[in-house]
Amino acid sequence: MAFQGSAEVLHELSLFFGIALGVCAAASMTFGNLAAYTQDNVKRLLAYSTIAHAGYMLMAISALLVILSNPVSAEDAQYASAALCVEGLMYYIAVYLFMNLAAFAVVALVRNETYREDIEGFNGLISCNTPTKVLCICMAFSFFSLVGMPPFGGFFAKMLIFYGAFQAGTVHWFLWALLAIGGVNTVFSLFYYLRVLKAMFIAPRAEESRPVETPAMVSAYVVLLTIPLLALGASPLQQDLSATARNGPPPPAARSLDCGARCGTFSMNQTDSNARINALLVQLNRSLVQYVHEADTYANGASQGLLDLVESIATRQREDVARLVGLLDERNHAINFGVFPVDYTSLHYVAVSYLLDRLIAAQQSLVDEFEKAKTELSNDPAAATVIAEIAQAEQSALEKLKEGKQPTPAATA
């Protein structure tokens, strides 16, 4: 739902992209079904039908954007219609996972027995041993669900998407045209699915065909893939999943209250607070001290103590980085560890004493940044405590670096 807002241009963009995706959906459905119809290889037939099903999923996204482009609709009604599109898409993906896995599993298992993937290789499979008969029934269930026939999950998933498109048609007529294209493609897909089922259940098996003795264990595996097609289509589980898709996560206000109970009340919102912490993490993790520690800096006898000091500061900084990572991880915030500045690359093989002035300046900048953050995050108790402790440690490191300053910098190695 990226195109939300009151500006007219946002509504126009939402409508434009909604219709553009609708055109892509129509092309995907039509091309996928036409290509699948011409196939004699069952695996390629299913592959092309996948393109068609991607078109049905795009229809849901198209309808969502078109609904959100309507500036005059009541907010509650608009939200309900948009939620319906999301519900249909999520439900379709869940059902499609199982019906596609089941269909491809049957093709693979039959190929292992017959060494063939063409439709004729499926002739008369219903007359083979009992596990093979089970495979045939599972294939029928999978295909009927792919077409969208009740009482299978594919019917309810497709119905939700089509209803979302119908609702979007009240905003722009193109979605009604897209709905008609989707309906025609659904009926058309029935013909090539029935070709395979006709071969399996009606066509006689050639006498010279290789015998098919499917193991019972693999047949049981396909049954496990097929059961959800009925469970998602004709059971109370359907209502539960629909409610989950419709309701989604709690609204932002509820999430803020929940976080406030756990983390304290923030003057800065949760997202900004976490982003600020991550920015400090990057500065600490990619500090000049860290780079000097990792680079092959040179130290003679007189400056060995300085190099040891840099290494001790770097070790402690990495421990503080780990503390910030833990804080962000508790808040489920995606962590960015950053990269070293490009101008650091010229500091390889340089005497550490030559870098001391630059180390002090960089450390002072780091201290200033953490001191500033203490004020910004003062109403985030969990973060403020950690930041204050790190700021104190960085100030101590700065003083030690100043104490180690040489009167005459050593030459570069």
51-84 per-position pLDDT tens digit = 999 999 999 999 999 888 876 555 556 677 788 8
Mean pLDDT of 137-166: 91
CB-CB contact of 173 with 116 (8 Å): no
Fold classification of 255-403 (topology level): Ferritin (1.20.1260)
Phi, psi angles (nearest 5°) of residue 351: -60, 135
Which residues, 6+ apart, have CB-to-CB distance to 290 below 8 Å? Answer: 284, 314, 317, 318, 340
* Residue with more model confidence, 114 or 410: 114
Q: What is the CA radius of gyration of the chain?
A: 32
* 7-11, 208-212, 217-221, 312-316: segment of lowest average pLDDT: 7-11
What pLDDT is stored for residue 256 in this prediction? Answer: 40
Q: What is the pTM of this model?
A: 0.56
Round to whole Å and give the CA distance between 42 and 360: 70
Which part of the chain has CATH 1.20.1260.10?
255-403
What's the confidence (pLDDT) of residue 311? 84
d(CA 77, CA 170): 12
pLDDT for the residue numbered 241? 53
Rounded Cα distance between 349 and 340, Å, is 17
CA distance 391 to 372: 10
* Three-state secondary structure call for residue 72: coil
Summarised one tens digit per residue, pLDDT across range 306-365 is: 778 888 888 888 888 888 888 888 888 888 887 777 667 666 656 666 778 888 888 898
Residue range 230-283, pLDDT digits in tens? 887 665 555 555 555 455 444 444 344 344 434 444 345 666 788 888 888 888
DSSP conformation letters of 362-387 = HHHHHHHHHHHHHHHTTT-HHHHHHH
